[in-house]
Structure 1
Amino acid sequence: MSTSKNEVREAAIIADPDLPKVTITREFDATPELVFRAHVDPEIFAQWIGPNRYQVTIDRWQAETGGSYRYLIGEGEERQGFFGSFHQVLPDELKVVQTWGWEGMPDAVSLETLTFTELPGGRTLLTSVGLVDSMEAQAGMLASGMEVGVNEGYAKLDELLARE
């Protein structure tokens, strides 16, 4: 089922009550290959990641197994850095395993696995499973307002994918 132009599709963000794990799922009206590319191509990634009010600058981006990344999100001089390593980038399997961290809390790093599953009608189910080192870090992630950035970012991604 596709969404109308005025309908906003929300990501499901689920915190495991027993493990420091957060699972995010979201459907897209585009093929898994296109959604995967939007997560590994720095020019596309910078156009959709994060809340609407912020700009993104890619500082470093090596989307390959063993590569790393760093990008900045914000306005003017007020920018926050995010960084990580691409542990596995597997285009044939439509899978990415990476770490993700925020420079404001450099010890709270998440290990994320992204999978891009084909759905009927050329659609995609994106599943992101993130593990952090403690239940406190999980609570901090959820309290950070991450759902705004996730949902606004994915809405921008919907718009980009519709142009493909």
Structure 2
Amino acid sequence: MTTNPLTITAPEGQPLIEIVREFDAPPALVYRAHEDPALVARWLGPHGYEMRTEAWDLRPGGRYRYEHLDGQGNAYAFNGVFHDAVPGERITQTFEFEGAPGVVSLETMTFEALDGDRCRLVGRSVWPSVESRDAMIANGMERGVREGFERLDALVRDAG
């Protein structure tokens, strides 16, 4: 099995992160894997982590909160508010790692239709500062995104 390439861009001097990844599944299916909390728990985060969801209400004004459990007694909690949700097309939300309270990014994920019933997922995050963006990157963001998308690949492949 070949994994589609992952691109993470953090422009120097700008508090931005862009993540681009293609999936061999239609946008509606990739979106559904972001919408359904039971599906989200099967793919979001690094390999070997369990996800415990406290809230997942994907609608404008809805909130989410979850924890990643590393199997060694450590829990990493995240929360935010959904601001926009257009099924199969876009999700806009805030994102906060509770280990860095008050450092909140604004994220937009777009689900672009590609030929061959495929999808390009583009995530853009705006951080309060370059330093807060760099701290997120330094604390394992790339691993969580890469491994989570590998699990998302398997999920949408099995569902398709």
Q: TM-score, normalised by structure 2?
A: 0.95
* Structure 2 stretches lacking a partner, 5+ long: none
Whole-angstrom CA distance in 1 between matches of 2:130 and 2:55:
30
Query: What SS does the corresponding residue of 1:129 show, helix, strand or coil?
Result: strand
Whole-angstrom CA distance in 2 between matches of 1:40 and 1:76:
28
Whole-angstrom CA distance in 1 between matches of 2:82 and 2:5:
26
Deviation, 1:16, is 1.6
Whole-angstrom CA distance in 1 between matches of 2:137 and 2:114:
28
1:108 corresponds, among 103, 118, 122, to 103
Deviation, 1:76, is 5.5
2:125 corresponds, among 126, 130, 133, to 130
Match of 2:77 in 1: 81
Which amino acid in structure 2 is aligned with residue 81 of structure 1?
A: A
Match of 2:91 in 1: 96
Query: What SS does the corresponding residue of 1:156 show, helix, strand or coil?
Result: helix
Match of 2:58 in 1: 63
Contact 1:10 1:151 in 2 (8 A): no
Contact 1:56 1:73 in 2 (8 A): yes
Deviation, 1:8, is 3.0
Number of matched pairs: 158
Deviates more, 1:73-82 or 1:142-151: 73-82
Structure 1 position 19 matched with structure 2 position 14? yes
Whole-angstrom CA distance in 1 between matches of 2:5 and 2:101:
28
Q: 1:89 to 1:130 in 2, by over 3 A?
A: same
* Structure 1 stretches lacking a partner, 5+ long: none
Deviations 1:63-83 (A, max 9, x none): 111100000101263211110
Deviation, 1:36, is 0.8
Q: CA RMSD in A?
A: 1.1
Deviations 1:88-129 (A, max 9, x none): 11116x100000111100111110000000000000000000
Query: What SS does the corresponding residue of 1:163 show, helix, strand or coil?
Result: helix
Which amino acid in structure 2 is aligned with residue 148 of structure 1?
A: R
1:39 corresponds, among 34, 38, 51, to 34
Contact 1:51 1:149 in 2 (8 A): yes
Match of 1:54 in 2: 49
Contact 1:11 1:151 in 2 (8 A): yes
Structure 1 position 139 matched with structure 2 position 134? yes
